[in-house]
C-alpha cells in the first residue's frame, strides 16, 4: 500500500492514529473526542486536512464501541455513531503521520512493527507533555496548511523526547476502563479530553472555548 498521508510523503492531509488494546474503549473515545474538538474549533465542515482514526493491538474487529465509552462521548457532545473496532495492521501504521497510544506498552508494540514508526509514535500523555514545551511561534504558520504545521509539531516533539522526561513511570499511561463502572469511564474521558486540549490547540492554532 502506498504510504499516502505519511509525513515523509507530504501533501495536504495528515493522518492521526489512536491505539489502545481492544479498540472499544480508550482509542474510540480519543478518536471521537479529537474529531469533536477539531469540529468545534474549525467549524463542522472543516478538518483542516486532519484525518483521525483508531485501532487496537488486540482489536475487536467489527465490534461496537463499549456502551460506557459511548456514554462518555455523549457527555462531551461528541458523536459515537457508526463506530466499529479494528485490529491494528501494518497498513494503519504505514499511513499514519502521528500515532498516539494509550500506554507505553502500546507504543512499544507499534514501534516493534517497524515502518520507521519510532519518531512519530508517542503515548497520548507523552505527546501532550512535549507539545506544551513547544513554542507555537516556532511552527509553520497556518497559512502554510495545517498538515505542514502538524508534521513540524511531530518533528519538534520527537526532538524533545530525550530531554523532557515523564515525572513518574505512570504519568504517560491512560488506564483501561474495560469492565469498569461508568464513573471510571468518565474519569478516563476527562483525562483524555485534558490531554487532547493542548494538542488540538497546537495543531489548529485555536484555543478551546471556556
Q: What is the pLDDT of residues 149-158, one digit of tens each?
A: 999 999 999 9
Answer for the pair 57, 209: CB distance below 8 angstroms, yes or no. Answer: no
Lowest mean pLDDT among 52-66, 162-176, 180-194: 162-176
* Distance separating alpha carbons of residues 38 and 47, to the nearest angstrom: 6
Q: To the nearest whole percent, how much of the chain has pLDDT over 70? A: 93
Predicted local confidence at residue 190, as pLDDT: 98
Q: How many CA atoms lie within 13 A of 188 on its CB side?
A: 28
pLDDT higher than threshold 80 for residue 45: no
Span 64-88, mean pLDDT? 97
* Distance separating alpha carbons of residues 145 and 126, to the nearest angstrom: 25
pLDDT higher than threshold 50 for residue 71: yes
| C-alpha cell recorded at residue 84 | 466499529
Predicted local confidence at residue 11, as pLDDT: 72
pLDDT higher than threshold 70 for residue 93: yes
* Distance separating alpha carbons of residues 145 and 150, to the nearest angstrom: 9
Q: Compute how many other C-beta atoms are within 10 angstroms of the C-beta atom of residue 24.
A: 24
pLDDT higher than threshold 70 for residue 115: yes
pLDDT higher than threshold 60 for residue 19: yes
User: Per DSSP, what are the bridge partners of residue 122?
Assistant: 100
- Edge-to-edge strand list for the sheet holding 121-123: 50-56, 14-20, 98-101, 121-123
pLDDT higher than threshold 50 for residue 168: yes
pLDDT higher than threshold 90 for residue 7: no
Mean pLDDT value across the chain: 91
For the whole model, what pTM was predicted?
0.93
Task: Indicate the pairing of strand 98-101 with strand 14-20.
Answer: parallel
Predicted local confidence at residue 43, as pLDDT: 82
Predicted local confidence at residue 58, as pLDDT: 95
pLDDT higher than threshold 90 for residue 166: no
Predicted local confidence at residue 9, as pLDDT: 44
Predicted local confidence at residue 5, as pLDDT: 39
C-alpha angle 150-153-156 in degrees, rounded to nearest 5: 155
Number of residues that make up the chain: 210
Amino acid at each position: 500500500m502506498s504510504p499516502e498521508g505519511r509525513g515523509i510523503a507530504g501533501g495536504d492531509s495528515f493522518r492521526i492514529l489512536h491505539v489502545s488494546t481492544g479498540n472499544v474503549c480508550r482509542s474510540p473515545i480519543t478518536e471521537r473526542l479529537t474529531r469533536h474538538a477539531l469540529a468545534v474549533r474549525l467549524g463542522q465542515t472543516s478538518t483542516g486536512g486532519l484525518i483521525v482514526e483508531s485501532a487496537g493491538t488486540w482489536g475487536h474487529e467489527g465490534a461496537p464501541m463499549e456502551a460506557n465509552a459511548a456514554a462518555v462521548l455523549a457527555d462531551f457532545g461528541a458523536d459515537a455513531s457508526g463506530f466499529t473496532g479494528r485490529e491494528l495492521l501494518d497498513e494503519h501504521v504505514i499511513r499514519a503521520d502521528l500515532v498516539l497510544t494509550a500506554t507505553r506498552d502500546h507504543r512499544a508494540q507499534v514501534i516493534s512493527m517497524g515502518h520507521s514508526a519510532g519518531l512519530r509514535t508517542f503515548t497520548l500523555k507523552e505527546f501532550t507533555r512535549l507539545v506544551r514545551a513547544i513554542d507555537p511561534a516556532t511552527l509553520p504558520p497556518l497559512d502554510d496548511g495545517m498538515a505542514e504545521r502538524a508534521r513540524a509539531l511531530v518533528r519538534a516533539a520527537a526532538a524533545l523526547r530525550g530531554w523532557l522526561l515523564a515525572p513518574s513511570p505512570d504519568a504517560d499511561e491512560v488506564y483501561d476502563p474495560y469492565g469498569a463502572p461508568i464513573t471510571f469511564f468518565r474519569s478516563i474521558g476527562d483525562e483524555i479530553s485534558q490531554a487532547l486540549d493542548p494538542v488540538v490547540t497546537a495543531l489548529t492554532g485555536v484555543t478551546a472555548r471556556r
